[in-house]
Chains A and B, each alone.
Chain A
């Protein structure tokens, strides 16, 4: 079973920009922010927890704002 991590964003612009930075190098999935993290229907990015260090390294120094949460094995909501 895969464990996933999530990136949450303060704006949809950050979500879209971050996805563009990551999508050619990592298996990222754009999904609605799970309800337990937000009452709004924002966009977040899901990726394999095993890639977490590499994803954070790839975003280091980039002009995007995000919050990392470990989602565990649950796929959604």
Chain B
């Protein structure tokens, strides 16, 4: 099965690949034209117990996916955990005293990073982008979440507005299209 997703914007390459995986494909070749799509398809493949080999370079990356000989149990565990998204539109939790809101945010991200069901997507907008720029404790938690597979998308408009673009410590500069796409791809979106 060959999927030609060149020229398709995120998350289309992932959605096309997922459709074939869900349909029961065990071997797939996916063509994409950018490195972000490569990473996203790789992550999807890994989450579905596929082994991935990448060849080529822009504008044509070739990903060869093959279903790994995983135990049925492992497949079930992955399937039972629907992808969810976490949206942070501010840098504190709740309304009230700012120092309490900051402390709660640190405590929240520590707890999230230690949990066994971290979000597939973390979406940061408005002053929420400050979490990935200025808050050292939260940045460390975000790095660990990213290592565990959470994709962190940071609103580029917001970074630009606050003059923080050059200081982003973790995550990918993103846009409204991709952020909305992740919300729509998620089984649920939790807003802070």
Contacts and interface: CB of A to CB of B under 8 A. Distances in A.
Given A75-B114, A76-B114, A77-B114, A16 B107 contact: no
Contacts of A32: 107, 110-111
B100 A31 contact: no
Q: How large is the interface on A (under 10, 10 to 19, 20 to 34, 35 or more residues)?
A: 10 to 19
A60 to B, nearest CB: 23
Interface in A1-42: 12, 15-16, 19, 23, 28-32
Label chain A's interface by main secondary structure: mixed
B100 A30 contact: no
Contacts of A16: 99-100, 103
A29 B110 CA distance: 8
A23 B110 CA distance: 16
A30 B114 contact: no
Contacts of A28: 137
A76 B110 CA distance: 9
Interface in B91-106: 99-100, 103, 106
Given A29-B110, A31-B110, A12 B137 contact: no
Interface string B127-171: 000000000110010000000000000000000000000000000
Contacts of A48: none
Contact of B107 (A31, A75, A77): A31
B103 A29 contact: no
Nearest to B106: A30
Contacts of A31: 106-107, 110-111
Nearest to A20: B99
Given A15-B103, A29-B140, A76-B110, 17 more contacts: A16-B100, A19-B103, A23-B137, A29-B110, A29-B137, A30-B103, A30-B106, A30-B110, A30-B137, A31-B111, A32-B107, A32-B110, A32-B111, A43-B103, A75-B114, A76-B111, A77-B114
Interface of A: 12, 15-16, 19, 23, 28-32, 43, 75-77
What 4 A-B pairs come out closest when comparing CB atoms? Answer: A30-B106, A31-B110, A76-B114, A32-B107
